[in-house]
């Protein structure tokens, strides 16, 4: 994306606990089959460009992958195209991507390479234990894309940025 038209970085994200709980439940269902799950947090960005509200933890059509590297997910170009069209039609924006891991939460090389979020300042969250985790991003791993690199956020950053609302 052209730097001149780049959006401001989002510094605060609110998300309903019920949306997280539902996402974690789906992660656990997939996890029972040994599959990771990718969810996309879509929502509204305030005119300031600095605060966002997640409206939905959207689960795109995806294929679970198993390889010698472990497990993963694959979302087709067609699904991404449809997602972008739906976002354009509704005016909603992609706020963050969230996916589950079998055990430890971290950004793998594949996660770096195949991230759906590609905007500078974008967020990627990884939930441990196939979603058997608290409904609190502080208990997960969180990364932000800075200068084409995914940097892990420390817990105080995560606490400042993500607000779980009832």
- Name the site residues for Zn ion (rule: CB under 5 A): 108, 111
Residue 102 tokens read as 């079998």
- Tell me the residue ranges of DSSP E strands in 47-105: 51-58, 63-67, 70-74, 93-100
Cβ-based nearer residue to Zn ion, 51 or 150 = 150
CB 110, min distance to Zn ion, A: 6
CB 66, min distance to Zn ion, A: 13
Residues sharing a CB contact under 8 Å with residue 122, sequence separation 6 or more, in sequence order: 94, 96, 97, 115, 144, 145
CA quadruple 125, 131, 133, 136: dihedral positive or negative?
positive
Enumerate the β-bridge partners of residue 145: 150
Residue 24 tokens read as 């974690």
Cβ-based nearer residue to Zn ion, 51 or 59 = 59
CB 89, min distance to Zn ion, A: 29
Residue of this chain nearest to Zn ion (CB atom): 111
CB 162, min distance to Zn ion, A: 19
Cβ-based nearer residue to Zn ion, 109 or 166 = 109
3-state SS class at 138: helix
Cβ-based nearer residue to Zn ion, 111 or 140 = 111
């Amino acid at each position: 994306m052209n730097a001149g038209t780049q959006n401001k970085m989002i510094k605060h994200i609110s998300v309903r606990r019920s949306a997280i709980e539902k996402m974690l439940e789906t992660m656990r269902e997939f996890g029972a089959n040994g599959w990771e799950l990718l969810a996309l947090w879509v929502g509204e960005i305030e005119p300031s460009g600095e605060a966002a509200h997640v409206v939905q933890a959207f689960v795109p059509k995806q294929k679970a992958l198993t390889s010698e590297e472990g497990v993963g997910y694959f979302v087709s170009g067609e699904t991404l195209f449809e997602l972008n069209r739906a976002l354009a039609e509704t005016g909603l924006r992609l706020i963050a991507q969230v996916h589950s891991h079998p055990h430890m939460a971290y950004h793998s090389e594949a996660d770096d390479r195949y991230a759906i979020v590609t905007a500078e300042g974008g967020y990627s969250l990884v939930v441990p234990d196939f979603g058997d985790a608290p409904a609190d991003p502080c208990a997960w791993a969180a990364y932000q894309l800075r200068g084409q690199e995914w940097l892990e956020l420390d817990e105080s950053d995560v606490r400042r940025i993500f607000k779980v609302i009832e």
